[in-house]
Amino acid sequence: MSAAAITVRALGRTDYEATWRAMQAFTDARTATTGDEIWLTEHPPVYTLGLAGRRQHLLRDNGIPAVKVDRGGQVTYHGPGQLVAYVLLDLRRWRLSVRDAIRAIETGVIDWFATLNVAASGDVEAPGVYVVHAGTRAKIAALGLKIRHGATYHGVAINVAMDLAPFRDIDPCGYPGLAVTDLASLGVTLDMATAGMRFAPHLAQALTARGSHDRAGQPLETHR
């Protein structure tokens, strides 16, 4: 199989909790023949706290709701102008460990950024993708996964062109003082639909690189 086996769905802007529950339902209904999918979306303003998330990392009440969820990681912010790619993947089908999947998601982001002339890197100790902006190492993509029945959901959130101020009211990903930036601050201008469609092939390729390539060369199946 190749990246062509993954269906990409462009959902537009969606409610966070409704999308989270839909991912759970999709995963619970999986069978051995259920296909793998990437869901592209963005959300209205919301903070999410992962399984280990501590409310002490919510520094101030600014009116943005906070939702406790079942992904890994600490606290992060979602809002308009942030591309969220949810990864609904059967790990056994692709012979991936959880660590493999995390590294693959980071690789997908880094490879896409390279096409935008943006140098980026991952971090083994603090999963996510980082760039250097104004001489400071800054996080530009946060990720967290949930594994259920050998399959993943949740995924990666990439800051494309957003109001970054809400990050100042939290310890991003549980790290006090962590700098956060977006592609717009690096001089990259993209609308959300274009960003999603350009990123998805890089993500799918990185995720499935360990699989066989009997269908290589076929385009991704894309749904809106």
Nearest of 166, 168, 179 to residue 128 by alpha carbon: 179
Closest C-alpha to 77, from 154, 146, 171? 171
Establish whether 173 is a catalytic residue: yes
Angle in degrees, CA 111, 159, 221, rounded to 5:
55
> What tokens does 93 get?
């089908």
Strands 66-68 and 6-13: unpaired
SS3 content of the chain, % helix, strand, coil (to 5): 30, 30, 40
Catalytic-labelled residue, pool 69, 173, 192, 206: 173
For residues 214 and 194, give the distance between their C-alpha atoms in angstroms, rounded to a whole number: 29
Distance from C-alpha of 2 to C-alpha of 94, rounded to nearest angstrom:
9
Catalytic residue numbers read 173
